[in-house]
Amino acid sequence: MAKTLIMLVRVLGLAAIVVGILLWVTSKRPYFWPHIGLGSCVAAAVFVLAVLAMTKGDVVAGVAGLLLAILLPLVGFMQLPMVFHAMGAVQAAHIALGLLAIGLAERLYSAIRRV
Ligand code: HEM
């Protein structure tokens, strides 16, 4: 199960980045829902990986994963209504949280496999 989740984070996380950049660069609304769908799948997978890592004893990474999985969609939706081509603190925080969540997923996965 953890292997499937980390593969989902890798593939869908990369796709979320690409579609997010397309959304920002092209200002085309058709990219909006695919981006939200991909991002939500990443957040959900990180959430489950965090719970699994906590059950294996990595509480610090687990709590960080839960926080990121909750903050990512919250800060993502704080960008609404969309102001195309805007790059303020919320947009920067959103990208940072997305990249952190994808990175932390690798740590969560290694914590799950270690035991
Ligand atoms: C539930 C999760 C997510 C939600 C609700 C969400 C929401 C959004 C929204 C509304 C925008 C458009 C902002 C605008 O153009 O004004 C956006 C853009 C973007 N998102 Fe996400 N997103 C999520 C996950 C992710 C993830 C996992 C990444 C990966 C790093 C990511 C990367 C980006 C990028 C690069 C942009 C374009 C730059 C920007 O406007 O910030 N997002 N996202």
Distance 32 CA to ligand 1 centre (A): 9
Report the share of the chain in percent with pLDDT over 90. Answer: 89
pLDDT per residue as tens digits for the range 3-14? 999 999 999 999
pLDDT in tens, 34-88: 999 999 999 999 999 999 999 999 999 999 999 999 999 999 999 998 887 888 8
Ligand 1 pocket test target in 17, 95, 97, 102 with most atoms within 8 Å of CB: 95
Report the C-alpha gap between 17 and 1 in whole angstroms.
24
Q: Provide the CA 64 distance to its chain's centre, in angstroms.
A: 12
CA-proximal residue: ligand 1, atom 19 (nearest):
20
